[in-house]
Structure 1
Amino acid sequence: DVVQPVLWAVMVSLAAVWESFGVRPAAVVGHSQGEIAAAVVAGALSVVDGARVVALRSRAIVALAGRGGMVSVALPASGAQELAAGWPGRVSVAAVNGPASTVVSGDAGALDELVARAEAGGVRVRRIDVDYASHSAHVEAVEAELAEVLAPVVALEPSVPFLSTVTGQWVDSALTDAGYWYR
């Protein structure tokens, strides 16, 4: 609830410093709290609403602490999905970071088993130092809270091309409302 807002503030501040020197992005993309920063830089969110989203979303996730985790797996998304299938409903793909870099997220015990199975199969895995399962079904527990606290967020039409990691599409209209930040 502190680290994510601070990282977001650094990202948005750096973009503002660069812009003050005439460096303006041709397009933006970000992941997780980085997507909130990208939305602000793109003009799809005001700075105030961006701060609201990152602070309140981060605070809501605290309720998930202690129940789950995240693991980086050196596999393409399809391989990580196959691996996670060993724990249906307990582990899922959370983020695709590259052609052979995927993050899975879910129940802590299931992730322990997944790590052991992956290592036994020669797959490089690394625990991410969090005790919650972001970007997983665990987040459903805070959906109602997020809908309420993020209701005032006003989605804006971006002025800089903004690629959504939620949809995989360019955001070309005012889509970044409360529901978007839950998804």
Structure 2
Amino acid sequence: RALFEHRGVVVGGGRGGRVGALGALAGGVGGGGLVSGEVVRGEVVFVFPGQGSQWLGMGLELCEAFPVFGERLRLCGEALEPYVGWSLLDVLGGGVGVPSLERVDVVQPALFAVMVSLAGLWGSLGVVPSAVVGHSQGEIAAACVAGVLSLDDAARVVAVRSGALRGLSGGGAMGVVSLGVGEVVGRLVGVWGGLSVAAVNGPASTVVAGEPGVVEGFLGVLAGEGCQVRRVPVDYASHSVQVEGVREGLVGGLSGVVGRSGDVPFFSTVTGGVVDGAGLDGGYWFRNLRETVRFEDAVRGLLGGGRRLFVECSPHPSLLGSVVDTADEVGVSVAAVGSLRRGEGG
């Protein structure tokens, strides 16, 4: 069979889903279970998002279908248990009396475990990363997959970091606006000085954080001007001045955690470029929670190195649009695919 430059792949567990995806392909429109585009050759980047892609039951079907995923998830659960005091599989299944995924100190360790296990599954299928990048808490999974943090140290980091965030719960808010960071900063000066730029996801996607009333006011003004805005479903303000209150506890709680040089380049969204894993100590992980997430800068660095294939290792895609938007801004073509979709098996 001839291999042409324009291709489409349909993935689905049932006949109806596959037929629907084929119809979408024939009609030239997007759809669940469909990946299409021109062939892009190059090295693969694994992308690990922050909070937001979770759903009850994520990964449980994969445990049955792929033993390598189940074993990796089991190891992650064992690494987490001394720090969290709950069973990972019970939390993923939503068992009676187990902590809820609504809690930040539960959902973030659970997401870490699923993302690391998805990376292991991709690797078993022959898809291995030439680089990794993580967004906010996703950097912990990225560091583990890159080999710059051991599984035990990574489990400790995600548990201590998410525990610190629980202490901030109730006092903050976050929102996404469809504006570039330059315009957002210009708006914040003076009038909205109580807000922080929490993340720069793409050329027209910026996250702000601060006190709930101030965030709501800012989003309301922009929405009134026709700008697309979205409240992030959290009750804390990570990547803002509020995080200063947990500096001592976070850094102290991670004393003894030291990264190492890894097998895979680690593109930091703290610095926006490649960093040596040996510098990933408690101070770095405080910066990871306190400073602006420079995801767009990191993606630009990856694109500048010739990387064109991006796989998001998460229960539901959340950063693929930002990757594509940044590539479009740079003027290059990329292929960006997810691993699972919310509620569609997994």
Which of 128, 136, 147 is matched with 2:240 structurally?
A: 136
2:65 is matched with which residue?
A: none
Which of 142, 148, 157 is matched with 1:53 structurally?
A: 157
Larger RCO, structures 1/2 (Cα 8 Å, 6+ apart): 1
TM-score of the aligned structures, taking structure 1 as reference length: 0.95
Unaligned runs of 5+ in 2: 1-104, 288-346
1:87 is matched with which residue?
A: 192
Question: Is the deviation greater in 15-24 or in 156-165?
Answer: 15-24
CA contact (8 A) 2:258 2:279 kept: no
What is the root-mean-square deviation in Å for CA atoms of aligned residues? 1.1
Alpha-carbon distance between aligned partners in 2 of 1:158 and 1:83, rounded to the nearest angstrom: 40
**Letter of the aligned partner of 1:73 in structure 2?**
V
**Letter of the aligned partner of 2:220 in structure 1?**
A
Alpha-carbon distance between aligned partners in 2 of 1:112 and 1:19, rounded to the nearest angstrom: 42
Q: CA-to-partner distance for each residue in 1:100-121, whole Å, 9 max, x for gaps?
A: 0110011111112101211122
CA contact (8 A) 2:260 2:276 kept: no
2:259 is matched with which residue?
A: 155
Would you say 1:7 and 2:111 are equivalent positions?
A: yes
Unaligned runs of 5+ in 1: none
> CA offset at residue 137 of structure 1?
0.8
Question: Is the deviation greater in 95-104 or in 119-128?
Answer: 119-128
> CA offset at residue 130 of structure 1?
0.4
2:270 is matched with which residue?
A: 166
> CA offset at residue 63 of structure 1?
1.1
CA contact (8 A) 2:173 2:234 kept: yes
**Letter of the aligned partner of 2:240 in structure 1?**
S
CA contact (8 A) 2:144 2:151 kept: yes
1:122 is matched with which residue?
A: 226
Which of 9, 12, 31 is matched with 2:135 structurally?
A: 31
> CA offset at residue 172 of structure 1?
2.9
Alpha-carbon distance between aligned partners in 2 of 1:124 and 1:22, rounded to the nearest angstrom: 39
CA contact (8 A) 2:266 2:277 kept: no
Alpha-carbon distance between aligned partners in 2 of 1:9 and 1:84, rounded to the nearest angstrom: 36
Aligned positions, number: 182
Which of 144, 151, 156 is matched with 1:40 structurally?
A: 144
CA contact (8 A) 1:45 1:156 kept: yes
**Letter of the aligned partner of 2:162 in structure 1?**
S
1:70 is matched with which residue?
A: 174
Q: CA-to-partner distance for each residue in 1:13-32, whole Å, 9 max, x for gaps?
A: 11112223332101100101
CA contact (8 A) 1:43 1:157 kept: yes
Alpha-carbon distance between aligned partners in 2 of 1:33 and 1:13, rounded to the nearest angstrom: 16
> CA offset at residue 173 of structure 1?
4.6
TM-score of the aligned structures, taking structure 2 as reference length: 0.51
* Identity in percent: 55
2:313 is matched with which residue?
A: none
Instruction: Please list every run of at least 4 consecutive aligned residues from structure 1 whose deviation after the TM superposition is greater than 6 angstroms.
Output: none
